[in-house]
Amino acid sequence: MMKSVIFVCVAALITHNGYTQLLIKNKVKMGFIGGLQTAGAGYQYKNPNTFEKIYHYNVHIDAHIGYFFNKNFGLGITAVKGFSQSNIEPFSMYNNQKFHGIGVYGRYYIPLKINIKVLDRMLFFLEVVYRKTNFTRTVNWVYVSGDPLKYNLTKIIPFGMQMRVWNNFFIGTSFEYLIFTEKIHYLVYRTGFEYHFKGKLKK
């Protein structure tokens, strides 16, 4: 009995200390945020027979603005402009392909701080984006043009991180999991910056 009581007390103490150090409630306080982000993926290799360089890459720039009506959760709109290049036969005709899209997103800032000393500098978040776009991926790493805003794209960011570098100016990085209408999906890396117009952290 005594061992059980001691175990419960120790567990409660550890849980309480862990909670107070790692979970800081209502720490993020924001109004509007806005920013630019870029993401992309690609590959390059040399044909062992012809020694020809084979490449493909795509890059896009994402502009967004959102409003946080809650201390941690907000919604916003996003627009993207990008391009794709490749010399893979028979798709070399699709060099300099351009695409664009528009959509909405939701973001949740996690009240998780791994280091209490950087509490006012580090933010962690989850994000989901739904977008209409005029490009779809049909073969490995190659985009083929479609009708304007015909294809749907869902973008999931399972974990992102931002760091305040000056005043309310943040830089961030994350991985994006892209899911296209036609059951095509892949992972890309994203980086960018944001300005939190009312992004003061609650003391």
Which tokens hold the place of 179?
Answer: 């899911």
**4 within some domain:** no
Distance CA 128, CA 75 (A): 10
The structure's pTM equals 0.65
And the tokens for 54?
């084979």
What Rg do the C-alpha atoms of the chain give, in angstroms?
22
Q: How many domains does the chain have?
A: 1
The answer to whether residue 61 is domain-embedded is yes
Mind giving me the DSSP string for 86-137? E--TT-GGGTTEEEEEEEEEEEEEE-B-S-GGGTTTEEEEEEEEEEEESEEE
Domain membership of residue 10 (yes or no) is: no
pLDDT exceeds cutoff 60 at 135: yes
In a domain, 176, yes or no: yes
CA dihedral sign of residues 23, 27, 33, 38: negative
Q: Which of 189, 197, 190, 144 is nearest to 170 (CA)?
A: 197
Mean pLDDT over residues 109-124, rounded? Answer: 65
To which residue do tokens 């390059």 refer?
44
* 106, two tokens: 């939701």
**Within a domain: 154:** yes
pLDDT of residue 41: 66
User: Is 2 inside a domain boundary?
Assistant: no
Looking at the domain assignment, is residue 9 inside a domain? no
Is-contact 82 61, C-beta < 8 A? yes
How many residues belong to the chain? Answer: 203
CATH of the domain at 72: 2.40.160.20
Whether 172 and 159 have beta carbons less than 8 Å apart is answered as no
Compute the average pLDDT of residues 130-144: 60
Q: Is the pLDDT of residue 35 over 80?
A: yes
Contact by Cβ (8 Å): 191, 176:
no
Q: Is the separation of the CB atoms in 107 and 17 below 8 Å?
A: no
State which residues form the domain around 69. Answer: 26-196
pLDDT confidence tier of residue 75, bands split at 50, 70 and 90? very high
Calpha distance 116→111 (Å, rounded) = 12
Between 45 and 99, the more confident residue is 99
